[in-house]
Amino acid sequence: MHFSPEFWSIFSFLPLFVPSLRDPEYPSSTPNPPGGNGTEHDALWLAASPPKYPSPWMDGSGEWATAYKRAQAFVSQLTLLEKVNLTTGVGWQGEDCVGNTGEIPRLGFPALCLQDSPLGVRNADYVSAFPAGGSVAASFDREIWYQRGFEMGSEHRKKGVDVQLGPVVGPLGRSPEGGRNWEGFSPDPVLSGIAVAQSVRGIQDAGVIACTKHFIMNEQEHFRQVAEWNGYGYVFDEAISSNVDDVTMHELYLCKPFADAVRAGTGSIMCSYNQINNSYGCANSYTLNHLLKGELGFQGFVMSDWQAQHSGVSSSLAGLDMTMPGDTLFNTGYTFWGTNLTIAVVNGSVPMWRLDDMATRIMAAYYLVGRDEASVPVNFNSWTTDTFGYQHAFAKLDYGVVNEHVDVREEHGRTIRDHAARSTVLLKNTGNTLPLTGKEKFTAVFGEDADNNPWGPNGCSDRGCDNGTLAMGWGSGTSNFPYLVTPLTAIQNEVLFNGGIIQSETQNWAYSQIMSLAGQASTSIVFVNADSGEGYIGVDGNIGDRNNLTLWRNGEALIQNVTAYCNNTIVVIHSVGPVLLTPYYDNDNVTAILWAGLPGEQSGNSIADVLYGRVNPSAKLPFTFGRTREDYGTDILYDLNNGENAAQDDFVEGIFIDYRHFDRAGLDPIYEFGYGLSYSTFAYSGLQVEKHAVGPYMPTNGTTKAAPVLGNYSRDLADYQFPSNLSAVPFYIYPYLNSTDAADASDDPSYGSDDFIPEGARDGSPQPRVAAGGGPGGNPRLYDVFFTVRATIQNTGSVVGEEVGQLYVSLGGPNDPKVVLRNFNKLSIAPGASATFSADITRRDLSNWDPVQQNWVITSYPKTVFVGSSSRKLPLSQRLSI
Ligand SMILES: *[C@@H]1O[C@H](CO)[C@@H](O)[C@H](O)[C@H]1NC(C)=O
Ligand SMILES: *[C@@H]1O[C@H](CO)[C@@H](O)[C@H](O)[C@H]1NC(C)=O
Ligand SMILES: *[C@@H]1O[C@H](CO)[C@@H](O)[C@H](O)[C@H]1NC(C)=O
Ligand SMILES: *[C@@H]1O[C@H](CO)[C@@H](O)[C@H](O)[C@H]1NC(C)=O
Ligand SMILES: *[C@@H]1O[C@H](CO)[C@@H](O)[C@H](O)[C@H]1NC(C)=O
Ligand SMILES: *[C@@H]1O[C@H](CO)[C@@H](O)[C@H](O)[C@H]1NC(C)=O
Ligand SMILES: *[C@@H]1O[C@H](CO)[C@@H](O)[C@H](O)[C@H]1NC(C)=O
Ligand SMILES: *[C@@H]1O[C@H](CO)[C@@H](O)[C@H](O)[C@H]1NC(C)=O
Ligand SMILES: *[C@@H]1O[C@H](CO)[C@@H](O)[C@H](O)[C@H]1NC(C)=O
Ligand SMILES: *[C@@H]1O[C@H](CO)[C@@H](O)[C@H](O)[C@H]1NC(C)=O
């Protein structure tokens, strides 16, 4: 039997002495991923990713039962061509959205519209610009995350979007310089996990499918895509490989955050550009088949990042369900799926059950969130803000109304203002400098970051510049501002209302004017920033990832010039993550410091609410402010290190990033993870630990059912030809064939030259279930509640305030971090009053990943619970008896 066509050709030029690079098709001799305990590392260099086949088929477990049945009923009616249409995008700029599947006209089923971003609707007008994920992480507030998700989801729904391309937990934030960290939440996996779950629920309750991304180890922009980085003058042939051991994969990157997104029911997950242990994110049978669909029991569909698919048959067998935007590279007119997938299924390279599973997963996500009832036709166009334009932008075809300018913002501006204010972290407040009264004698505002971008808030495409106040990073994770309230405008309104004096100097290099104004001011407020974004744009030489951790636009000199002449200087930082505060944080003339993150459209109003005390700050740092860049212990790989082959990024730090690293290395940060002040003060007392009766852990056993096959199909290629009456859109991707000769129709230069199919990849018989699996999010027993922890938090100050009580655990082993965040609870408390903090500890919270057993275990090392106000202020603790 001849299994063709074969699309392994992408690998054919790789040197044979690097067999692991040929994964997943190369039968690896490594039974498991590199071992390791998360601290010391095996040789990860040229790490291999073991093959794991077949791709698990959806079984409707958890909350998916009804959606699964409806999806199967729908898919059962489809022809092979119609199923292929669901899985394949029509090509870059083929339709209105950044991604569009084919449609099913016979059943009146419209194309699915996929649209960026994780902070609003990208490439559209009359939409809101929400605070970034990395900002709202600081709120430590489940309600804020849910509400923000719901409002973003509503805006997408009303624009006609089926899938919102967000939220983000990859990057997690391994290195603070990572260009897209701000799109996600926090380098702490538990904080990220809870935030992503709430975001998924919010988006999907609004009737839109969430796409949690990017799966997995997508931790830097450098070398993520070959063509992009060839364009910057780097010569190499395959994307960077993030090399990681099994413990680190499980304890840091996979569980929680992705496991929590799956458990919350995320309808789709986007696979990433990078390789993981030298196998591409979108063709990695280990990460997609085994970890995501096997162990985590993911029921939805895996969608490729844009141009992250590099092969046809292999990606399908490795667990990819939808290719975006559909063409091999933008606007080639060719595709790895579409025509090629039709041929591959007809000749048996891809089994029919696998195509049925792809289509079922897509339709199940559709029904799960109620798309059949929530859907409206797409009413905007990603490629123009004009009313008129081409329906098929790249082909310049079908001119007409493409943008109806539907205003979907509702009252979201109010919540955006509130959420950004409640995500602003107060780091320093000498002698209660803040809140201000508005009656200060002479207020001076400094910094470009206080003022407008002279080119307008959307003056730089995809926010690819650092002009004016920073309220969003750059790249595809953006939306257009409907307006951007600057800090200067809002502060000026405040001061003028109170009859005061306000002046500003917003040119960062105007030293003499800065110093002169600072010398007159009784209160100076200095705005500074640091930006980053996605790798297809470079700003000031920062190609996505930041080149350093210092301020941009001469920020340090600005602060120095102001503090030299004003003994009451308040510093406000808008940044994508940590910056080095070392030169000025302990200057006595710096009387207050606020980290305001990336606040979105209401920036000025949000910061004014905090500065003038309408909002009492309660946010906590979702990362560490260290003293030096080196103190973080992790960094971007800025240089190729494997000749012209894939750069090898060994995650040798294991699970020790951010505060886990600072704690282990005994380094003093400036402001630790979890830290944040209030205008009030709080005291912790009375720790109580309630133990629950819990049954034993039960590894999942037994086998799955056989893969369902939904319908028959013809094996005659004549039945799949382009319809004679179709006037094909140029460069558009279709499921049809141009010839009854498979090699001609496929147009694959290596067609039929290789008949390798990974062992077992087409086996649809019942398969053993994964012991650590058993339902969406993994083995259900992992979520058993072992303990409920309570403590008393008293407001010892004089104003009402919110306090985030934080629960940390020490797992006690020699390779465990000193403490790890496991839960938190935000309480609003009146002055003098007390409230009860309460939080659960689950089995998973107490477990370590055992790479030998391939399961979670509670070790015999002593476990301790801590409660307090930051990762280093933990006044209450107790040994846990398990
Ligand atoms: C951790 O793993 C490495 C190899 O993976 C091993 O050499 C080392 O002894 C282990 N450490 C402990 C404490 O188990
Ligand atoms: C596939 O989708 C394309 C583009 O939306 C559409 O023109 C075509 O009719 C669809 N084919 C089938 C078989 O439904
Ligand atoms: C099929 O895939 C191959 C790459 O494997 C590509 O070269 C060819 O152009 C594709 N064919 C079509 C019709 O898109
Ligand atoms: C805006 O940013 C771009 C890109 O960094 C820069 O070239 C330009 O000078 C800036 N424009 C203004 C008016 O600041
Ligand atoms: C860090 O990068 C920013 C942005 O490119 C730049 O303005 C600044 O000068 C750099 N800092 C140092 C110390 O080079
Ligand atoms: C103001 O900043 C400039 C540039 O860094 C520096 O040369 C000058 O000394 C500063 N002035 C004061 C008083 O610190
Ligand atoms: C603080 O400000 C005062 C002016 O109010 C100035 O005399 C002093 O030198 C400043 N101190 C520092 C460390 O810049
Ligand atoms: C700051 O300087 C002003 C005069 O410029 C002075 O009245 C005030 O006491 C100083 N404050 C501190 C805290 O030194
Ligand atoms: C499978 O698991 C169940 C429940 O956990 C247990 O009762 C049964 O003995 C297990 N079967 C095997 C063959 O291990
Ligand atoms: C197949 O034929 C259609 C219609 O003539 C044409 O637009 C398309 O480019 C052809 N595709 C290939 C892969 O040759």
pLDDT digit string, tens, across residues 433-491: 999 999 999 999 999 999 999 999 999 999 999 999 999 999 999 999 999 999 999 99
Our answer on whether the CB atom of 563 is closer than 6 Å to any ligand 6 atom is no
Average pLDDT over residues 840-863: 97
Q: Are residues 731 and 857 in the same domain?
A: no
Q: Are residues 724 and 808 in the same domain?
A: no
Q: Is the pLDDT of residue 6 over 80?
A: no
Rounded to whole angstroms, the Cα distance separating 468 from 553 reads: 10
> Angle 80-87/339-346 helices, nearest 10 degrees?
130
User: Structure tokens of 460?
Assistant: 């730089």
Q: Which residues line ligand 9 (CB under 6 A)?
A: 698, 701
Q: Which ligand lies nearest the alpha carbon of 395?
A: 10
Distance of CA 808 to the CA centre of its chain: 24
Q: What is the pLDDT, as a whole number, of residue 850?
A: 94
Tell me the backbone φ, ψ of residue 561, rounded to 5 degrees: -60, -40
Q: 390: domain CATH number?
A: 3.20.20.300
Q: What is the pLDDT, as a whole number, of residue 376?
A: 97
Average pLDDT over residues 826-854: 97
Average pLDDT over residues 571-597: 98
**pTM higher than the cut 0.85:** yes
Q: What is the pLDDT, as a whole number, of residue 755?
A: 65
Q: Is the pLDDT of residue 37 over 50?
A: no
Rounded to whole angstroms, the Cα distance separating 385 from 403 reads: 7
Determine, yes or no, domain membership for 806.
Answer: yes
Q: Which ligand lies nearest the alpha carbon of 522?
A: 8
Residue minimizing CA distance to atom 1 of ligand 2 = 102
Our answer on whether the CB atom of 340 is closer than 6 Å to any ligand 3 atom is yes
Total residue length of the chain: 882
> Helices then strands (H, E): number in the chain?
21, 28
Q: Are residues 854 and 816 in the same domain?
A: yes
Determine, yes or no, domain membership for 351.
Answer: yes
Q: How many CB atoms lie within 10 A of CB 60?
A: 16
Say how many domains are in the chain. Answer: 2
- Is 188 an active-site residue? no
Report CA-CA distances (Å) from 601 to 481, 488, 546. 6, 14, 23
Q: Is the pLDDT of residue 366 over 90?
A: yes
Q: Are residues 847 and 717 in the same domain?
A: no
Q: How many CB atoms lie within 10 A of CB 550?
A: 15
Cα–ligand 6 centroid distance for 551 (angstroms): 16
Name the band, by pLDDT with cuts 50, 70 and 90, for residue 46: low
Q: Is the pLDDT of residue 45 over 80?
A: no
- Written as one string, the DSSP assignment of 599-619 is --TTHHHHHHHHHTTSS----
Q: Report CA dihedral (314, 319, 325, 327) to the nearest 10 degrees.
A: 10
Cα–ligand 2 centroid distance for 74 (angstroms): 16
pLDDT digit string, tens, across residues 702-753: 999 999 999 999 999 999 999 999 999 999 999 999 999 999 999 988 887 7
Q: Are residues 724 and 842 in the same domain?
A: no
What sign for the dihedral angle of Cα 538, 544, 548, 550? positive
Tell me the backbone φ, ψ of residue 109, rounded to 5 degrees: -90, 115
Q: Which residues, in sequence order, are CB contacts of 359 under 8 Å at separation 6+?
A: 71, 75, 78, 83, 86, 87, 710
Residue minimizing CA distance to atom 8 of ligand 5 = 552
Q: Are residues 158 and 203 in the same domain?
A: yes
Determine, yes or no, domain membership for 245.
Answer: yes
816-847 burial by CB neighbour count: b if 16+ within 10 A, else e?
bbbbbbbbbbbbebeeeebbebbbbbbbbbbb
What percentage of residues in the chain have a pLDDT greater than 70? Answer: 95
Determine, yes or no, domain membership for 523.
Answer: no
Our answer on whether the CB atom of 719 is closer than 6 Å to any ligand 1 atom is no
Rounded to whole angstroms, the Cα distance separating 18 from 436 reads: 63
Q: Are residues 862 and 734 in the same domain?
A: no
Determine, yes or no, domain membership for 654.
Answer: no
Helix (H) or strand (E) holding 418: helix 412-421
Q: Are residues 232 and 198 in the same domain?
A: yes
Rounded to whole angstroms, the Cα distance separating 205 from 164 reads: 13
Q: Is the pLDDT of residue 213 over 70?
A: yes
Contact 632, 609 (CB under 8 A): no
Q: Is the pLDDT of residue 548 over 80?
A: yes
Name the band, by pLDDT with cuts 50, 70 and 90, for residue 44: low
Our answer on whether the CB atom of 586 is closer than 6 Å to any ligand 5 atom is no
Determine, yes or no, domain membership for 601.
Answer: no
Please list the alpha-helical segments (H only) found in 254-351. 259-263, 285, 313-317, 339-346
Considering the candidates 305, 418, 840, 845, report the single residue annotated as catalytic. 305
Q: What is the pLDDT, as a whole number, of residue 747?
A: 93
Cα–ligand 9 centroid distance for 62 (angstroms): 20
Determine, yes or no, domain membership for 232.
Answer: yes
Give the residue, out of 523, 589, 590, with the most ligand 7 atoms within 8 A of its beta carbon, to mutate for a pocket test: 589
Secondary structure class of 417 (helix, strand, coil) = helix
pLDDT digit string, tens, across residues 221-260: 999 999 999 999 999 999 999 999 999 999 999 999 999 9
Q: What is the pLDDT, as a whole number, of residue 788?
A: 98
Determine, yes or no, domain membership for 242.
Answer: yes
Q: Is the pLDDT of residue 9 over 50?
A: no
Q: Are residues 271 and 337 in the same domain?
A: yes
Q: What is the pLDDT, as a whole number, of residue 750?
A: 81
What percentage of residues in the chain have a pLDDT greater than 90? Answer: 93
Angle at 376 between CA 410 and CA 80, to 5 degrees: 145
Q: What is the pLDDT, as a whole number, of residue 2?
A: 31
Our answer on whether the CB atom of 524 is closer than 6 Å to any ligand 7 atom is no
pLDDT digit string, tens, across residues 779-817: 999 999 999 999 999 999 999 999 999 999 999 999 999
pLDDT digit string, tens, across residues 400-429: 999 999 999 999 999 999 999 999 999 999
Our answer on whether the CB atom of 858 is closer than 6 Å to any ligand 7 atom is no
Q: Are residues 193 and 271 in the same domain?
A: yes
What is the domain extent for residue 828?
684-699+772-880
Q: What is the number of alpha carbons within 13 Å of residue 664 lying toward its C-beta?
A: 20
Task: Tell me whether strands 820-829 and 801-810 are parallel, antiparallel or unpaired.
Answer: antiparallel
Q: Are residues 126 and 207 in the same domain?
A: yes
Q: Which ligand lies nearest the alpha carbon of 512?
A: 6
Q: 801: domain CATH number?
A: 2.60.40.10
Q: Are residues 266 and 329 in the same domain?
A: yes
pLDDT digit string, tens, across residues 337-353: 999 999 999 999 999 99
Cα–ligand 8 centroid distance for 567 (angstroms): 6
Comparing CA positions, the residue from 315, 309, 346, 330 lying closest to residue 737 is: 346
Cα–ligand 9 centroid distance for 743 (angstroms): 49
Q: Which ligand lies nearest the alpha carbon of 702?
A: 9
Q: How many CB atoms lie within 10 A of CB 520?
A: 14
Edge-first strand listing for the sheet containing 425-429: 425-429, 590-595, 569-575, 523-530, 443-446, 502-505
Our answer on whether the CB atom of 591 is closer than 6 Å to any ligand 7 atom is no
pLDDT digit string, tens, across residues 640-689: 999 999 999 999 999 999 999 999 999 999 999 999 999 999 999 999 99
Cα–ligand 6 centroid distance for 473 (angstroms): 29
Using CB atoms within 10 Å of the CB of residue 852, give its burial: 0 to 12 exposed, 13 to 18 middle, 19+ buried.
exposed
User: Structure tokens of 209?
Assistant: 């499918």
Name the band, by pLDDT with cuts 50, 70 and 90, for residue 40: very low
Residue 747 φ/ψ region, left for φ over 0, alpha for ψ in the -120 to 50 degree band, beta for the rest: left
Q: What is the pLDDT, as a whole number, of residue 331?
A: 97
Q: Which residues line ligand 4 (CB under 6 A)?
A: 454-455, 460, 465, 467, 539
Distance of CA 178 to the CA centre of its chain: 12
Our answer on whether the CB atom of 575 is closer than 6 Å to any ligand 5 atom is no
